[in-house]
Chain A
Amino acid sequence: DAGVIQSPRHEVTEMGQEVTLRCKPISGHDYLFWYRQTMMRGLELLIYFNNNVPIDDSGMPEDRFSAKMPNASFSTLKIQPSEPRDSAVYFCASSPGGREQFFGPGTRLTVL
């Protein structure tokens, strides 16, 4: 059984560039979460979806961040334009019924 798949695993980009992170949740899971983790702020919930519908995006830092879930098997997190302070590990997680969350391996983003 494949777990949550994230791509890319590592991304290095320059300030001002657009960054798109991708996530494929576990089949059958109806919740999908996007997190950001840094040493300074720990694990932060950015946004989560239930049945492809965004439920709570209060954690999205600013308008430069957007997330979509066009279908049950795919989600994207986009940062445009990117800034050095966006450097972090971004995790996607999926969950059956809102119970335990299964995390992807994360995308390590570095913005120069």
Chain B
Amino acid sequence: AQKITQTQPGMFVQEKEAVTLDCTYDTSDPSYGLFWYKQPSSGEMIFLIYQGSYDQQNATEGRYSLNFQKARKSANLVISASQLGDSAMYFCAMRERRDSNYQLIWGAGTKLIIKP
């Protein structure tokens, strides 16, 4: 079974609109973490935002916020006021503990294209 699911392979969004990228996860580890990364066409992987499973409030970083719904096991990324530079692949990832070490599990990604 997929542990991280990103159901949107691709999205087109008009510039300045808000964007929600979906991510659902599955884990039995009570102490997990959720991450979002951006990969522009230049290829680098850029860390955007982190949410811990025990964090009471949704994480925010500038225009990025994480809509964390623990009961639904979803961790959607919200980008407010989208810009042309937001066009990129976006990956959701989950950190869970395996034995005494951590493992990071990656989703397949969503390709976001911002239209002018």
Contacts and interface: CB of A to CB of B under 8 A. Distances in A.
Contact of A99 (B33, B44, B109): B33
Interface stretch (B14-22, B67-75, B77-85, B99-107): B99-107
Given A43-B106, A55-B101, 19 more contacts: A33-B104, A42-B108, A43-B109, A45-B104, A45-B106, A50-B101, A56-B101, A56-B103, A91-B45, A98-B101, A99-B95, A101-B104, A102-B47, A103-B44, A103-B45, A103-B47, A105-B43, A106-B43, A108-B43
Nearest to B91: A43
**Interface secondary structure of A, over-half rule:** strand
Nearest to A108: B43
B50 interface: yes
A98 B95 contact: yes
Interface string A64-90: 000000000000000000000000010
A103 to B, nearest CB: 4
B45 to A, nearest CB: 4
Given A91-B45, A99-B50, A105-B44, A42 B106 contact: yes
A98 B99 CA distance: 13
A34 B15 CA distance: 35
Contacts of A108: 43
Nearest to A42: B108
A63 interface: no
24 contacts: A43-B91, A43-B109, A45-B104, A45-B106, A50-B101, A56-B98, A56-B101, A56-B103, A89-B43, A91-B45, A93-B45, A98-B102, A99-B33, A100-B47, A100-B50, A101-B104, A103-B44, A103-B45, A103-B46, A105-B43, A105-B44, A106-B43, A106-B44, A106-B45
Contacts of B95: 98-99
Most A CB contacts (10 A, CB to CB) among B35, B98, B101, B104 go to: B104
Contacts of A91: 45
Nearest to B33: A99
A53 to B, nearest CB: 10
B3 to A, nearest CB: 13
Contacts of A102: 47
